A = this chain, B = another copy of it.
């Protein structure tokens, strides 16, 4: 809400303008729906601001997020806003050439994170979605201390949104904005299955 008034002015030596431009690290966690969906919704604003956007999808299934991917890619292709780059772990990261079909998800996640680090260091994008990245952190596929330090100390004005359940406490502590999507009621409780257009 642009009209929002901060509750207190911090004693950090920054002007409001400087503070306003500070990059945000956001975490969308919790058991409910909307964690990734809200991150892609934020990408709409980033696109409109003309920011280069990148999505790192740390999920196994290449079928996930096909609707979001198609829509954001189509937006990027309009040329009217920011560019959109989309990397999927589920079909092997696009920058890695593979001979076989065997996949080691732990190694793939680590490769994905290594690329994120390179991008952040190079300030390659302005808005990052690290989709479902809480799981590689939880499962020990990436080093939590390395992730937290890298995200906390990233250069420039790069905004990062991390999604997924069970966000690590150190990530939550380092984040500026943390929202817990809490499930109140879900159609699957009533025996419904997911449907195209709504769920993917």
Contacts and interface: CB of A to CB of B under 8 A. Distances in A.
A66 interface: yes
A49 B196 contact: yes
Contacts of A195: 20-21, 24
A8 B191 CA distance: 5
B33 A48 contact: no
Interface stretch (A71-79, A88-96, A109-117): A71-79
Nearest to A184: B178
A45 B67 contact: yes
Contact of A4 (B3, B68, B194): B194
A123 interface: no
Q: List the number of copies, as a whole number.
A: 2
Contacts of A125: none
A122 interface: no
Contacts of A66: 48
Q: Which of A30, A32, A80, A177 lies at the interface centre, i.e. has the most chain B CB atoms within 10 A of its CB?
A: A177
A179 B179 contact: no
B41 A34 contact: yes
Contacts of A197: 45-46, 48-49, 51, 126-127, 159
18 contacts: A1-B199, A7-B188, A10-B191, A19-B192, A20-B195, A21-B195, A33-B179, A38-B181, A40-B44, A41-B41, A45-B67, A45-B200, A48-B71, A49-B197, A159-B198, A176-B192, A177-B186, A180-B184
